Amino acid sequence: MTSALIVAESLPFPAAKGGDLRTWQNLNALASVVPAGVFGLCANDGRRHHRPDLALTCWSASSDPALAWPPPVGPKLQGRAWLLDPHGHPSDLYVSNVAAEELASLLERLRPSVVVMEGLWLHGYLDVVRAAGCQIILDCHNVEAAVFREVAATSTRDDFEGRVIRDVLPARTEAIERRAVCAVDQLWVCSEADADRLRTLYDPPAPIMVIPNTIPLDAYAMRPAAPRPAAGSTTPPTLVFPGIFAYLPNAFAARFLVDSVLPRLAAACGDCRLWLVGPLPPADLVTAAARDPRITVTGPVPDVRPYLAAATAMAVPLFHGGGTRLKILEAFATGLPVISTAKGAEGLGACHGTHLLLAETAEDFVRALLALRDEPQLADRLAAHARHLVSREFSWAAVGGRIERAVTALAG
C-alpha cells in the first residue's frame, strides 16, 4: 500500500463529538503504517487552520459553503426535498458537486491506494472514490438501518416528523446501506454485535473487520477517589449525559432523563442536577432547562472532560443505537461511575457491579445514583475496574494492530 486517505464529515482534531474520536483514532493508526491524510466535508470547520502535530499528506476541508454546519437556510431547505424523492435520504444534505470535484482532484494528486469513508452518511462520494481506482473501506460507526428500525418500533409520535421516523426512514436507510456495504472492499464495525447485524441484514461480499472504538488513555486524567459523605452534606448529586442531541437515540435518552429520572431523583434526595452536554439540543430540551434551574443544557463545548471530572455519575439511558459508546469509554478513563442501560453498554464487555451499574427504568437509575452517592467504596471499585478495562481493550495501543492488519490484508 502506498498511502491512505480518510474522508469524514469534519476534521477530527480537536475532537468535538464521538465520531471525531473514532476518525482521529483511525487517522493516527493509519499514519503509523503508511502516509495518510484526511479530507473533511464541513466547509466552516475552524480546525482546518490548526493542523495537528502529526505527519499527514493532507489536512483539508471542502470550500463549498453549502456544506457549512449548521447548514445555511437555502441548502437546508433544499436538503428537505429528499422526502419528495422515492430514493431520497437525509444524508443527501452531505452531497455536493463542489466537494465531489475537490475530492476527485485530491485523489488525483495524492493517489492513495486505500480510502476510508467515515460512516454511511458519506455514501454519495463512493462513486468518486471508485472512479479514482482506490480500494474503499466503509467504516460503519453504526448499522444505521438497525438503529432506525429500533427508533421506529418505539416511536409513538403521530406528527409529521414522527410519521417520517416510523414509516419512511427505516426503509430508505436500509436501501442506501445495502447498496453501500455491497459496493466497498472492506467493512469496519465497532463490535461483534454490529458485525452480526451487517451479516444478517445484507450478507455483504466484503470482509468485515471489528475495529473497536478506543481513546487515547493518556489524555484522560483519573479523578481522585470518591469523597466519603459528610454528615449533613448538601452537595447535590449530578448526572451528566454528553452527546450530539440531533442524533435521535441521544435526544430520546435526554428526554427520558428530564421527564422520568430527574423528578424521581429530586423526590428521593431533595436536590440534584442534570447536565446535558453537547451540540444541537432540540428546542424542547432548551425550554426545559430554561424552566428548571436543576437542568443545564450546554450546547457545544470545547472539552467534555471538565464535566466528567465534576459529575457524580454519567447516565446513559440509551434504548436504541449501534456501535459502542465512546462517552462511556471517556467516563471509564476518568474514573467517573457509569449507570447505563444494557443497550448503552453493548459491545464493551462491561459487567454490572464490576465496571458499571446497569439500569433499565427510571427507578433503577435513581437507585443506582443514590448507591453511588452513599457508598463511595462502590464508586471507587467501579472506577478502578473500568479504567483497567479501557487500558486493556479500548486504548489506542489495543487497536493499532487491528487497523494495521486490516489494511495490510486489503492491500494484499
Residue 100 sits in the same domain as residue 238: no
The pLDDT of residue 136 is above 70: yes
- For 81-112, write each residue's pLDDT tens digit: 777 778 888 888 889 999 999 999 999 999 99
Residue 76: alpha-carbon gap to chain centroid: 23
Of 239, 217, 388, 387, residue with least CA distance to 316: 239
In this predicted structure, what is the pLDDT of residue 1?
Answer: 65
Three-class SS state of 229: coil
What proportions of the chain, in percent to the nearest 5, are helix, strand and coil?
A: 50, 15, 35
Residue 179 sits in the same domain as residue 31: yes
Domains contained in the chain, number: 2
CATH of the domain at 156: 3.40.50.2000
Question: 233 Cβ partners below 8 Å, 6+ apart?
Answer: none
Give the C-alpha separation, 3 to 405, whole Å: 15
The pLDDT of residue 160 is above 80: no
Residue 371 sits in the same domain as residue 402: no
The pLDDT of residue 270 is above 50: yes
The pLDDT of residue 74 is above 70: no
Residue 154 sits in the same domain as residue 11: yes
| Intra-chain end-to-end CA distance of the chain, in Å | 8
| % of the chain surpassing 70 pLDDT | 95
Residue 165 sits in the same domain as residue 275: no
Residue 403 sits in the same domain as residue 389: no
Of 319, 304, 18, residue with least CA distance to 141: 18
Q: What is the mean pLDDT of residues 250-262?
A: 96
In this predicted structure, what is the pLDDT of residue 153?
Answer: 86
- For 197-214, write each residue's pLDDT tens digit: 999 999 999 999 999 999
Residue 150 sits in the same domain as residue 235: no
Task: Identify the band that residue 231 occupies on the pLDDT scale cut at 50, 70 and 90.
Answer: very low
Q: Which domain holds residue 125?
A: 4-214+396-411
Task: Identify the band that residue 79 occupies on the pLDDT scale cut at 50, 70 and 90.
Answer: low
- Buried b or exposed e, range 298-334, using 16+ CB within 10 angstroms: beeeeebbebbbebbbbbbbbbbbbbbbbbbbbbbbb
Residue 264 sits in the same domain as residue 322: yes
